[in-house]
Chain A
Amino acid sequence: MTAPTPSTPPTGGPQGPLSISGILFALAAASAYGTAQVITRQAVGGLASPLVGTLIAIFWGTVGFALLAARDFRTRGPQFMHGARFFALGGLFSAMGVVLLFQALSRGVVVIVSPIAATNSLFTMFFAAFMLRGVERITPRVVLGAALVVAGVVVLSVFK
């Protein structure tokens, strides 16, 4: 395993002691995504097509984040380009997921499409078990936790 770049201070990592800050970051991300979902549902209907809306959102997000992160490119580690390819592909697949979801929603009903989309964490576990072998352990208990969260999201989506 390659050492992290200078901008990534070593942390507990996936196999080290449980990181409280990691849990707080995850919950902060979840609350940001949840807040954005409420604003999307309440305020943006009909303002722009979903695709154009996504473009505007990701444009402002990229511009805003570039102001914070541009200087980090000065301290590049030896494996930077190798890692950058994974991030670029990750961004591509993430955006593709959004577009596919909009296409699914435009052709189907939300009570079927949303619960299926919510199973993404189970796919993450599946891919991680193969692609991150030797990097991270995917235990049955972690899979159970993900399955319970998915079940909860399905109940919220179907019976609202």
Chain B
Amino acid sequence: MLPVILAVAAAMSWGFSAVLVRMGLRHVGTRPGTLISLAAGLVFTAALVLVFEPGHLSEVTPQALLLFGIIGILNFPVGRFCNYMAMNRLGVGRSTPLLGSAPLFAVLIAVLFTGESLHVSTAVGVGLILGGLYVTVTAPR
């Protein structure tokens, strides 16, 4: 039961975060806002590492620095900034389902570049996501 509660709490945290950012966008531009949110996340994560895993920092390899650096650049300056720009222009109601389609891109990349096979269930999942994107984009304003 605990993993389910933790997963629900994670989903609620992200949902709440998106609405807070939408409120912030009424007063602060997207670029400074993105940087403020990143800095807050950095301080929070650094505090957790210092409290719970201080010894792990000295074990970080150059390879880990490089790969997590690439993931960080994709997730934050690119992903989060574009996410907030979309939220600013579409509103949180429309941008959130579009952002939820990230696994669709993960499937496409995995099939095209890493040789993962495409199953019937994958096609059904992709179809549902595309249907959701269509319903969201064509919804009357």
Is there contact, CB below 8 Å, between A57 and B72? yes
Is there contact, CB below 8 Å, between A62 and B4? no
Is there contact, CB below 8 Å, between A37 and B91? no
Is there contact, CB below 8 Å, between B71 and A44? yes
Residues from chain B with a CB closer than 8 A to the CB of A54 are: 45
Closest CB-CB distance, B140 to chain A, in whole Å?
7
Residues from chain B with a CB closer than 8 A to the CB of A8 are: 25, 28-30, 88
Closest CB-CB distance, A105 to chain B, in whole Å?
8
Residues from chain B with a CB closer than 8 A to the CB of A108 are: 2-4, 6-7
Is there contact, CB below 8 Å, between B92 and A35? no
When chains A and B are docked, how far (Å) is the Cα of A80 from the Cα of B125? Answer: 42
When chains A and B are docked, how far (Å) is the Cα of A144 from the Cα of B138? Answer: 12
Residues from chain B with a CB closer than 8 A to the CB of A84 are: 24, 27-28, 32-33, 36
When chains A and B are docked, how far (Å) is the Cα of A155 from the Cα of B127? Answer: 10
Main secondary structure of the interface of A (DSSP, over half): helix
Closest CB-CB distance, A107 to chain B, in whole Å?
5
**Interface residue from A44, A87, A107, A123 paired with B11 (Cβ < 8 Å):** A123
- Within residues 1 to 49 of chain B, which ones have a CB less than 8 A from any CB in chain A? 2-4, 6-42, 44-46, 48-49
Which among A58, A80, A117 has the highest number of chain B CB atoms within 10 Å?
A58
Contact with B along A46-58 (1 / 0, CB 8 A): 0111011111111
Minimal Cβ-Cβ distance residue in B for A95: B41
Is there contact, CB below 8 Å, between B105 and A34? yes
**Interface residue from B38, B82, B83, B125 paired with A91 (Cβ < 8 Å):** B38
Minimal Cβ-Cβ distance residue in B for A9: B29
Minimal Cβ-Cβ distance residue in B for A136: B91
**Interface residue from A57, A61, A82, A99 paired with B48 (Cβ < 8 Å):** A99
List 6 tightest A-B contacts by C-beta distance, closest first: A108-B3, A61-B76, A14-B91, A123-B15, A83-B27, A34-B105
- Write 15 A-B pairs (CB below 8 A) sorted by A numbering: A14-B94, A30-B104, A33-B79, A58-B41, A60-B72, A84-B24, A91-B17, A120-B14, A121-B100, A125-B96, A127-B15, A145-B132, A152-B104, A152-B132, A153-B100
Q: Which residues of A contact B (CB under 8 A)?
A: 1-2, 4-8, 11-19, 21-23, 25-44, 47-49, 51-62, 64-66, 68-70, 72-73, 76-77, 79-80, 82-101, 103-105, 107-109, 112-113, 116-128, 131-132, 135-139, 141-142, 144-160
